[in-house]
Amino acid sequence: MKKTKAFLKKWPCLYGLVQNFYYGFRKIIERYLLGTRVQEWLWKRQKREEVQKYLGPGSPPHRQKLLERIENLAPFESVLEIGCATGSNLILLAKKFPNIKIQGIEINPIAVELGNEQFKKEKISNVRLFVGRADDLSQFPDKSFDIVFTGSVLMYIGPDKIKKVVSEMQRIARKAIVVAEYHSDREGALGIYNKGNWLRDYKKLFQPFSSQIEITKISPKGRGEEDWEKLGYVIEVVL
């Protein structure tokens, strides 16, 4: 695949045509035929060696700003991350707030296993990961957590499920919802398909639940994260 890409880049016009065809075809398959299910299927079936890279010390461009916004909401007693992978965000929160209840749900069972093993190794006792889907939070009663958050998760959820997901987040959150995602106030609440991700207006999406919505630019300049620099925001919804 890498060799093919390098070969095509020698002819920019041809590369542009192939890229447009690829994303156009992928848009038809994912948006109109499969919806969010294709993303769920791909991530759920990632192998152990693929998932292990999320255990490393790497720092995605949204993490610092996302965690800052959550920390600014203190005091709080409980937090849930939806789509937590192996729990790298939650390790940092647990070290900052060792006395609160922290949970995470993740669709990939291997990520959940590796994450819980990591917490045990680091003797972190106030975090627990569970297998679960963003659109099915039925295991949690109403207002179960002070804060519910995501980091680059909702961008993979299409129009077929996004309203159900945010409705469930609002149902189980007491104090606030915080998300770090690709945002554009020129798009609708359901969004448009943009190079493998969903770009949407999160203010419109969360307006039915709150009038207190703060949107903060991430701008990870100098890190080579072009899309996050242009589109990355932290959206804080106070309930």
Does the pLDDT value for residue 29 go beyond 70? no
One domain for residues 26 and 139: no
CA-wise closest residue to 173 among 150, 195, 197? 150
Confidence of residue 28 (pLDDT cuts 50, 70, 90): low
Give pTM, 2 decimals. Answer: 0.83
Containing structural domain, residue 72? 35-238
pLDDT score for 204: 97
Average pLDDT, the chain: 86
30 and 42, same domain (yes or no): no
Give the CATH number of the domain where residue 69 resides.
3.40.50.150
Predicted confidence at residue 83, as pLDDT, reads 95
Residues 141 and 212 in one domain: yes
pLDDT, mean of residues 64-70: 94
What is the model's pLDDT at position 193?
Answer: 81
The answer to whether 116 and 128 are in contact (CB under 8 A) is: yes
| Tokens found for residue 32 | 């109109």
- pLDDT bin (cut points 50, 70, 90) of residue 25 is low
Report whether pLDDT(222) > 60.
no
Give which of 156, 155, 161, 173 is closest to 136, Cα–Cα: 161
Q: Are 154 and 70 in a shared domain?
A: yes
In terms of domains, do 6 and 76 share one? no
Least confident of 52-61, 70-79, 101-110, 204-213: 52-61
The mean per-residue pLDDT over the stretch 213-217 comes to: 95
102 and 22 housed in the same domain: no
What residues have CB less than 8 Å from 212, skipping those under 6 apart?
A: 237, 238
Say if residue 115 is in the same domain as residue 17: no
Are 9 and 127 found together in one domain?
no
Q: Note whether 24 and 40 are same-domain residues.
A: no
Q: Is the pLDDT of residue 30 over 60?
A: no
pLDDT in tens, 152-192: 999 999 888 999 999 999 999 999 999 999 999 999 999 88
Both 214 and 127 in one domain: the answer is yes
155 and 180 in a common domain = yes
Instruction: Indicate the pairing of strand 145-151 with strand 173-182.
Output: parallel
Residues 13, 125 within the same domain = no
Lowest mean pLDDT among 44-58, 73-87, 113-127, 205-219: 44-58
What total of structural domains would you count in the chain? 2
For residue 8, pLDDT beyond 70: no
Tokens encoding 100: 């609160």
